[in-house]
Amino acid sequence: MTTLVLASSNPGKLQEMKEYFANVKWQLQLKPQDLEVEETGRTFLENASLKASLVALALNQYTIADDSGLSVRALGGAPGIYSARYAPTDALCIEKLLKELENSSDRVAEFVCALAVSDPNGQIILTSQGKCQGIILKKPQGERGFGYDPIFYLPEYGETFAQMDPDLKSRLSHRGIAFASLLPALIELEKSI
């Protein structure tokens, strides 16, 4: 079984990603906590590629990284790549976003997830991107999920990500879409090494 380092030191992210790897032979593990990568890219894919490449080089192992966030049309794509750093906590991020959208009738938004896989030499060999479009509600609904999930509403399902069954969310989400696209290539890569 080949190891695939996740360019994150967040155990929660590892658990979430392991679900996508249920039928894949790669063994996922977190990067060391002291190995930090500054996200200087201008897009989600640039940041994911940067993290995958630098961690792979440092550890001389295959590495996967993701970068994701919320892009709101009325805010010119903000918070975008700064989604996690928009405010100090999830609750404050939501509060800030709702304040900025207070006078806007355009509530269209999309979650974006970019994935990048690097070989041990730091070369990006696989990438994938997933998007999920929804509407930003005026107040949070639901207790599940994290981040902006309580205000991200999918009209066709009548629920926010924070209200949705986790299995359904994992299939519909930006991350689920990105992984569905990436996994066949990862399976083939694993066979070739």
**Residue 45 CB: number of other CB atoms within 10 A?**
19
Distance, CA of 129 to CA of 92 (rounded, Å): 27
Is residue 109 within 8 Å of residue 72, measured between CB atoms? yes
**Residue 1 CB: number of other CB atoms within 10 A?**
8
SS3 (DSSP) at 73: helix
**Angle at the Cα of 60 from the Cα atoms of 54 and 62, rounded to 5 degrees:** 80
Strand partners, 136: 152
Distance, CA of 132 to CA of 109 (rounded, Å): 9
Q: Which of 66, 67, 119, 149 is catalytic?
A: 67
Is 167 labeled as catalytic in the residue annotation? Answer: no
Strand partners, 192: none
Residues labelled as active-site residues:
67
